[in-house]
Structure 1
Amino acid sequence: MAMQTRTVGQATPIVTCTATEPKRQREPDSMPDESLKKRTREEELSQEPVIQTPESIQREADLRRSLLAARRTTGFAVTVKEGPRSAVVQPSSSAIEEIEISSESANENEATVGEEMMAINEQRGELEHPESSLAEQPSRSEIGDENGEVPLSKGSSPKKQRSGDSSNETDTSTQVAARPFLFCVSPAMEGQTSGTRDIEATDAGQLEEGKGLEVLFEEGAEVSTSGQEASAGDGTEMVDSPASDPEQQVMKVTLEIESLDEEIAELNQKRCLCVQKKEKLIEAANNKKTATLAALNWSSEDYVWSKKLKETMNDLFGISSLRPHQLPTMNASLSGQDVILLLPTGGGKSLCFQLPVVISSGFTLVVSPLVALMEDQIMALKKKNINAEMISASTPKEKVTQFQNVRPKPASHKQCIDELAELLTTKYSGQSGIIYSTSIKDTQKLTKDLRSRGLKVGCYHADLSPEARSKCHQKWISNHYQAVIATIAFGMGMDKPDVRFVIHHSISRSMANFYQESGRAGRDDSPAECILYFRFGDLFRISAMVFAEATGLENLYGMVSYCIDSKRCRRHIIAEHFEEIRESVDCDKMCDHCRYPKTVKLVDITNYTQDLGKVLSNAKAAHQNVTGPKLVDAWLGKGQSNLKVAGLKAPPLERESCEKVVSYLLLEGFLKEDFLPTRYKKISYVLAGPQMNSVISGKRTVTMELPERSLVT
């Protein structure tokens, strides 16, 4: 087997990669065809089959690990694809730009790699044929003579030869794909940027320094610097041989993971070193800055503020001289430097922050551990006509001016328009506000119907042109429009302080949206109101819009929980959602629950849950899909006859409370939504949830709070 070499740079250890049994080399054209066929046939019959055993696979894995240990020292990137049939050689930018396969380059380095090749091929034979390790070894002519020379085959040319191509060309960007391939790869020369490669190594302990980088290929193979797929020397494309054994695939993936883990560990180590270096640089810079500042004369009276400081000290504070460290501290502070001052009691610390603020612009924030000390300093400053205030735990909280209210939404659109028109013409007459809706269609319809009642309202949504949106906005700012009917796109970032009301025609899609939208009202600290209309049917209409979002249903169910709650402070629910701490007393009766508390009762709704499960089981048997409103109808003994369950007793609840029960069971997982597409939109249907079986089997009970007035006696 003739080999060709190319030496690049000065380097150290030699790493090898081996594949399957050697590919047959074509004899010179002068050999008779019959002799060639006969010889080829004989060699094929004498060739030992390659047997993959767990031991050989493990040895192959060990070779890969040995190579990975030397990964960062070579100047070549060599990738062995899955299976042993192909490989790609990619030189790093710091190594070489081209590789020329020629007999001249081979002859220059034959003596250097001969001995290594002998050892390498012996190891390769043991790996590929461990069961025949005692068999006759290949002749020396196949791996090099006693001087380590690798003779070229008869008729070989310094230039690469292609089968079927009479032209001889030197290809500097080709590919390696001979079935046997042998890579002797040593690290890049000192000072060069090392590349990476994924090939197999023989023994890391055999690596020696002072070697050049040699890449040995079977004659007729192609070398690639482009990273494309490998092909044979005759132009035949070589494809990866699929792994027949899943265990081999698992092992290969495991090796890839180990390689990535090594890279991650190295990057983490480099990051730690960079962080340590950064800290040292910061410390050095701070030390340098501290030394520079310490060298300045902070006790000088030649600063631009020195004259004013002395006059204010005498006239306002009645002090003729300063104590030690006071003047340097005030000069450094007025210079914009950070200062730490340690003085004993009575050392004059307060003057160091009181006097500078009087002669400069802005304000000073003082953090003090004692309320008594704060009060004493505030009184002393106010006696000198210095504006000063204090904030402590006993300071009255800011007055809440926005009233939050949840109302049941009227059953029909006409009733809803009537109620909105009455609010705008009576309670909010002459006041400015916003009415939010969930869709462009609803926005347009509300605007049209309210205008038909003589109300001056504008329509604002994303489908309007920029000019139309700007015109609507300006009319609202100038109070030409009493209210704007808008989607969630309106109001964000607008500064109109006199908004007296925000009305949500439907529930918001999330608590975050609701909080932002309701926050448009009462920015001038004058009384304002936020009204949220909730209707059971809107829950399923909006859920069909948001269920495809990652947290769409979760966010929507948070709003539903806010709406169906029977007694808790509205502000406390919002604060709890955002993981804040707020007590109901902070509300100051500025929500419907705190101002008009209801008497609620903890009701066992286990039987109601079981009855709803029976309705759903009956619908499933009848191949009927059930929407939320239809589920409540069937539970009350109304609606479609094929959804009613014979002998099922209607619950002693008002319909509004029945809808709250279904909503609660949906939030708690006893029911769930299923979404099916139609030609025009997606529809939400209700199914039994993952918690339903535990209730039907009697293993679990369910309770919830309901207003007593909602219970039918």
Structure 2
Amino acid sequence: MEPSDVDPSIAALERSLALNRARQRDLRDEEAEICSQLQELRSSAKQAAKDAAEAHHVLVDWTGTFEWDATVADLLKSRFGHDSFRPLQREVINATLSRRDTFAILPTGSGKSLLFQLPGLLSPSGLTVVVSPLVSLMVDQVASLSQRGVRCALLAADLTDRTQSTEVHHQIEDPATSGLRFLYVTPERIAKSKMLVSKLQKAYHGKMLLRFAIDEAHCACAQGHDFRPDYLSLGTLRTTFPEVPILALTATASESVRADVERSLQMDHLSARFRGHFDRPNIKYSVRKKLDEAALLDEMAALALRDFPSQAGIVYTLSRADAEKVADGLQRRGVRCAPYHAGVDALSRQSMQAAWQSGRMQIVVATIAFGMGIDKPDVRFVFHHSMSKSLEAYYQESGRAGRDGKPAEAIAWWSPSDFYRLASLACDTSDRAAAWRALVGSGRFCEMRHCCRRECLASLFGQSLPARVGAVSLGQCCDVCAAASAEAAAPSASIAHRSTLEEMDVSPLAIDALRCLAELNDAAAAEGVTDGGAAPAKLTALKLVEKLASRLRHADAKLSREALEHLVLRLVLADAIRVHFAFTAYSILTYLFTRPSLASAVLGDPGATAHSAGLHALACSLPSTLLPMAKAAKANKGGGKRKAAAASDVPPQSRKRVLPESDGSDFEVEQPMKQTGRDAAGGMPAGRGRIASAGVEVVIIDDDEE
């Protein structure tokens, strides 16, 4: 055998070996994911069975009559200035006054602070310990209670010096003498200060410790979106102070998170549990296309100065550096704002918060910690410079707006590059699988243009929206509903626009993207270019888009670069393309590789179609000026006929178009809701998606719907 005959054989075997190794890694990842989900489901099922078995022992009508009703009503009016309770407030207060462990999951703006402040004032004396990770919240509440003549104290590393700590410790020892009613403390202080715990023990033995209120309780769950290790140490409160009831409070927690938090805090399995409704009907949610940074800052400044003049708002950013940069850019555009993050000294943060609350500053540009629990109900807008890492976090952050019940807006700016940046942050967590699922849910929320955003957020908590009546309510609901309402109001314009479109199958484009990526991965593996044997490398999303753009130029295709970026992201969200993380000394890089089973399908069959590869089918509507591309796509093997039939099988109401703007430059990606079921990632509906760019509209349809 000649050497020239041997070399190709060796290369082929090496490629085959690399592909098999990739498949093994793929299977291991899937096995780990399935095991994780199975364990979570088993735990939830076990807890549900336990709850059901004991339900008849713990059923209490918390809306009934209790001996303290008259005193509670008097305190509500005299101390807090309210004539009535908000939903579930009275029930939670009755439960904690009954000395039951209580878990309250209530939406932002539902008045959770009242749930421990009012019971804490009901007794003539005694100490309520409030644990929170949010120093700004505690500063605000201490100031508010002090103005009402209530003695309270705060222990936090940045705000309390040694002398102040010593004085507070003396007050804790004997609350009956000192008159101390509320102690606000960070979880880190509970975990690390033996002196504090010893002083609390003295109050406990003197029967002066009323309850522990654990705010942001979801932080005790390793599966949650904001896990904090110091929260796990709060489980010792039960063993150290066994007779003191625990009141756990949060605005975001699924049933599995709730069960995990109760285990971490060692709460009684007979705890009283309350869950409010999470719809925020006064907030209009929108997701906008992120332009270049200068244009984005122009847009933010225009909105703040034109649409919300002299009204308070928050801009959330992903990092301290972003907060500084955005604040500087908005200041240069005439907006009264300042950056707020952990790198700013405590006194400056307090001064900044006071200026914002008084109206002297319009906007606080902050990392995610700001605003949680601050008593400012008239925030009219919340902007997200970049989307949150999870929908739970986004719900909580956007919920800072409109707590007074008046109209407010939550606007997030989004681009595919944000997803990969968020992915690199999410992977640096203790539970990467959970962080990835949450991020995928967040990405799908931003990409969709078919489903009411409020409905999607409510679905996170297993809830649905009440029926809405009228186009006005639809228009004020979210950007998706507003677009649908506008289209319904002018159907003739919509029909005229649609007449310029022609259906085509763009499955070959997705297959080409996968084949392009698989070939590059395969070539890298054959050359031994891997990251420590972890995955074929090194192709970023940017490089893949460049390769696709180069191929399409030769095919005379007119899809924009932006359209290709969203198409690649859509394939990532559909798990057709996998993301691999490479850790360096200074950063975390994200590389793409085709899922091994798909790589085998597209490389082994030059005529592979979306159907043969087990991938979503794609349909596209094109203006007549792009018919050469449409004809080329129809000529592609196995394409047009299959999709033509599939598209006709989709009910018209499920194929509603969200068309590009009249200037032809708008870009949209959409994933409509299926008739049944929701995707596991972030509670988002699975199903169809749509891409529109320069008059091109792509619809992605699951094979199981055809």
The normalised TM-score by structure 1 is: 0.41
The structure in which a higher percent of residues are helix is: 2
Which of the pair has more CA radius of gyration? 1
